[in-house]
A and B are shown apart, each in its own frame.
Chain A
Amino acid sequence: MVIDILYRRILQLFSVMLVVGVLSFLIMHSLPGDMAYRIAAGRYGQDNVSMLAAQQVAIELNLDAGLVESLMYWFNDLIRFNFGTSLVSGQNVSDMLYHQVGHSLVLAISAVLIALLISIPFGLLSVKYPRILNPFISLISVLTKSMPVFVIGIVLIAIFAIELNLAPVAGYGSWQYLLLPAFTLGISLAAVTNRVIYVNALDVSQSAFYQFSRFKGLTVKQTLLRHGVKNISAPVVTYLGIQLVIVIEGIVMIESLFSWPGIGHGLAHAIFARDVPVIQGCALMMGFLFVAVNTITDLICYKLDPRGLE
């Protein structure tokens, strides 16, 4: 069964490479003007660029080959994880990605932890106080869910960085810099997650097996630990895994907003600068992250509830 999960995910991985490879190849060829000239201008500055420099770039990057041939070259490089060098800075893309992925992972993991810290108590409190707290929490969730993640980010910056001066506005450095971006993503994720926890916890707490465990003499705490936690967490993990798309997509916007040097920032930046090798590398990394998250979710779900796959 685990093999089955992994097999599907490997297929997905190939799809990721196919889509990213073809799309970034097309971007490369849809750039207006003489590609070599533009790249040379990007590297050496508008004033220093000459036909000679452009020709050298064309030879170096193999830009003159035919469409099909260059697509072959493209995939040949891609499969060997040879992303080439940035058209703008001349840096090795793999090195750039190595640093960026680390930063993005730190941000993403902190965001998920913050989301769980917020949503588990909120979700469970909603079940416990359905009259007093639930409508209130539900309203907050709906309102937060309607805010795009960058709106939450701007609001947090305005309140905590500019007005209260509690955290730095943007950038990367000490742990304080992590606070606002991680909370932004975490809040945006928690808005959905706490409702999922609420619905599932409500289901479980009203189910026959849960009631029965109370009748047979278990305490509230024992019932929750033995019958509650696992049954609530299986669907929640599935859903959380899916909702992690929010985080992966969110890092594009949040890293740009906070100048956090991760892959999302890298991708947005590269698209703006039309730096195709970096676009390809960052998009690929985001795809891999997506596949990894899906795989981990599947495996955890299988562990929590093996019935599903039998």
Chain B
Amino acid sequence: MPTNYPTSLLQLTVSAFNRMSVKQFVGLVLLIAMLGLSLLVLCFSGFSIDGQNLQHTLTIPSLEHWLGTDQYGRSMLMRLASAIVLSLMLGVICVLTASIVGVGLGLVSVFSPARLAGFIDGVSNIVLALPALVIVLLLSAMVPGSLLMIYIAIALVQWVEYYRVTRQRAKAILASPRAENSRLLGFDNRYLIKRHIIPDLAPTLSTMMAFGAANAILMMAGLGFVYVGIQPPTAELGLMSVELFPYYQQAPWLVAQPLVAISLLVLSFHLMADSDRTSSKVSPECHLASDNSANGNFANDSSAKESTAENQSPAEVSKL
């Protein structure tokens, strides 16, 4: 049976590391560094995110406050660290939820009768009918300031992407000679999923997940920025940018901090996605997009062609 099929988690990690491009490595290091530093600050800083000190507002970075203090004299270092951790956690949890639900439903719809598949497809079309941000805005308006609602809303708009890609790819694989072969040899659907579908999907999924995390972070920051996301005094990157912006002329360095933090977070996820390696034609936006456009047939086919071509020779692609 397969010899190059990674069995243990360790093996899987090692092989993932070996296949990583320089870009992805840089992205990962950047991400780990930001998360690590933020966690260290959260553990060892003597300040809290909402402890005010109105005598020392809008100060420049000093030994006591490494990144200065905001308009209420709160420690920026502490607030920034907590906001970064919040964003990262939300991004990761949203992506995990969305991908598990999306891939799960994709597989279900491939193996289930046409009626159920049609129903899931209908639901996905309804979610895709509106721009994602509008749905997220409306949902978070229902329970203002609730982190749970933001999480549900973002996961709800994101699963469709994974569902579409999974279904499309799984269909193609199940119709392929190798799956036919495997079936004739007596293997069941579970084996087909594990041995043929998941490995085939994995590279695309990992790219999509990295983009998805970036998008989730962007969406939450966007909500905070238009003041309908998480409410103060919680530190949230979008909210911090809009709160500090009026103080631009007194303290530009403070305004810059949350902006740089969001951009670095998004950048590190984009680097990890490394869309150049898999050619920008197969980026998840494009998948969503090609599904989104009504001329589904032609767009889908071309993207399917792209993706299978890419997947049949991951080694070759990585050499590029």
Which residue of A has the minimal Cβ distance to B222? Answer: A253
**Which chain B positions have C-beta within 8 A of A291?**
129
Q: A249 contacts B132, CB within 8 Å?
A: yes
Q: Are A20 and B130 in contact (CB under 8 A)?
A: yes
> Which residues of chain B come closer than 8 Å to A23, judged between CB atoms?
135, 138-139, 142
Q: Which residues of chain B are near A11, meaning CB under 8 Å?
A: 125
A154 interface residue, CB < 8 Å from B?
yes
Q: Least Cβ distance of A271 to chain B in Å? A: 4
Chain A nearest Cβ from B305, distance in angstroms:
13
Find A154's partner among B126, B133, B241, B295 (CB 8 Å cutoff). Answer: B241
Whether B286 pairs with A309 at a CB distance below 8 angstroms is: no
Q: Does A38 contact B (CB under 8 A)?
A: no
- Residues of chain A within 8 A (CB-CB) of B248 are 158, 162
Chain B nearest Cβ from A220, distance in angstroms: 25
Give the chain A neighbours of B221 by CB distance below 8 A.
148, 150
A206 at the interface (CB under 8 A from B): no
Q: Are A147 and B130 in contact (CB under 8 A)?
A: no
Contact residue among A13, A148, A242, A286 (Cβ-Cβ distance under 8 Å from B263): A148
Output the least CB separation between A278 and chain B (Å): 11
| Chain A residues whose C-beta falls within 8 Å of the C-beta of B135 in the assembled complex | 19, 23
Task: Say if the beta carbon of A245 comes within 8 Å of chain B.
Answer: yes
Contact A267 B137 (CB under 8 A): yes
Is B295 within 8 A of A302, CB to CB? yes
CB pair B294–A268 under 8 Å, yes or no, is no
In A247-291, the 8 Å CB interface with B consists of 248-249, 252-253, 256-257, 267-268, 271-272, 274, 279, 283, 286-287, 290-291
B266 lies within 8 A of chain A by Cβ: yes
Please tell me if B143 contacts chain A, counting CB pairs below 8 Å: yes
Minimal beta-carbon separation of B1 from chain A (angstroms)? 39
B residues in contact with A178, CB < 8 Å? none
Question: When chains A and B are docked, how far (Å) is the Cα of A305 from the Cα of B301?
Answer: 15
For residue B226, CB closer than 8 A to chain A, the reply is yes
CB–CB A242/B226 < 8 A: no
Known contacts A145-B270, A253-B225, A271-B137: does B126 contact A294 (CB below 8 Å)? no
Is the C-beta of B9 less than 8 angstroms from some C-beta in chain A? no
Query: Is B286 a contact partner of A239 (Cβ separation < 8 A)?
Result: yes
CB distance from B33 to the nearest CB of A (A): 16
B86 within 8 A of partner (CB): no
A5-B295 contact, Cβ under 8 Å, with A27-B141, A142-B267: yes
Q: How large is the interface on B (under 10, 10 to 19, 20 to 34, 35 or more residues)?
A: 35 or more
Residue of A nearest to B281 (CB): A199
Q: In the complex, are the beta carbons of A274 and B141 less than 8 A apart?
A: yes
Q: Is the CB of A146 within 8 A of B263?
A: yes
Q: Is the interface of A mostly helix, strand, loop or mixed?
A: helix
Q: Is A308 an interface residue (CB 8 A)?
A: yes
Chain B residues 126 to 184 lying within 8 A of chain A, measured CB to CB, are 126-127, 129-135, 137-139, 141-144
Q: Does A181 contact B (CB under 8 A)?
A: no
Q: How far is the CB of A78 from chain B (nearest CB, A)?
A: 14
Return chain B residues, CB-CB under 8 Å to A245.
131-132
Q: What number of residue pairs across chains A and B have CB atoms under 8 A from each other?
A: 178
Q: A15-B126, A199-B281 are in contact. Are A8 and B138 (CB under 8 A)?
A: no
Structural contact, A19 and B131, CB atoms closer than 8 A: no
B289 within 8 Å of A (CB atoms)? yes
Residue of A nearest to B258 (CB): A151
Whether B294 pairs with A9 at a CB distance below 8 angstroms is yes
Which residue of the partner chain B has the closest CB to A150?
Answer: B225
A residues within 8 A CB of B132?
245, 249
Q: Bound complex: CA of A272 vs CA of B263, how far in Å?
A: 26
A250 to chain B, nearest CB (A): 9
Contact (Cβ within 8 A) A242 B293 = yes
- The reply to whether the CB of A101 lies closer than 8 angstroms to some CB of chain B is no
Report how far A213 CA is from B288 CA in the complex, Å. Answer: 35
Interface centre among B129, B144, B228 (most CB of A within 10 A): B129
Q: Is B298's CB within 8 Å of the partner chain A?
A: yes
Q: Which residues of B contact A92 (CB under 8 A)?
A: none
Q: Given that A19-B126, A148-B262, A243-B285 are known contacts, is A8 also in contact with B294, CB under 8 Å in the complex? A: yes
Q: Is the CB of A298 within 8 A of B225?
A: no
Pairwise interchain contact B141-A16, C-beta atoms closer than 8 A: no
Contact partners of B143 in chain A: CB under 8 A: 30
Please name all residues of chain B whose beta carbon is closer than 8 Å to the beta carbon of A268 when the two chains form the complex: 137, 226-228
Nearest to B299 among chain A residues (CB) is: A238
- List 13 additional contacts besides A15-B126, A243-B289, A308-B299; criterion CB under 8 Å: A9-B294, A13-B129, A23-B135, A23-B142, A26-B142, A27-B138, A30-B143, A147-B262, A199-B279, A241-B289, A286-B131, A294-B292, A297-B293
Q: List 29 A-B contacts (CB under 8 A).
A: A23-B142, A24-B138, A142-B271, A145-B266, A146-B267, A150-B238, A151-B263, A154-B241, A154-B259, A158-B248, A196-B280, A238-B299, A241-B289, A242-B292, A243-B289, A245-B131, A249-B132, A268-B228, A272-B226, A272-B228, A279-B138, A283-B138, A286-B130, A286-B134, A290-B129, A290-B131, A294-B292, A298-B293, A298-B295
- A-B residue pairs, 3 tightest by C-beta: A308-B298, A242-B289, A15-B129
Question: Which residues in B have some Cβ–Cβ distance to A below 8 Å?
Answer: 125-127, 129-135, 137-139, 141-144, 214, 218, 221-222, 225-228, 238, 241, 245, 248-249, 252, 255, 259, 262-264, 266-267, 270-271, 276, 279-281, 285-286, 288-290, 292-295, 297-299
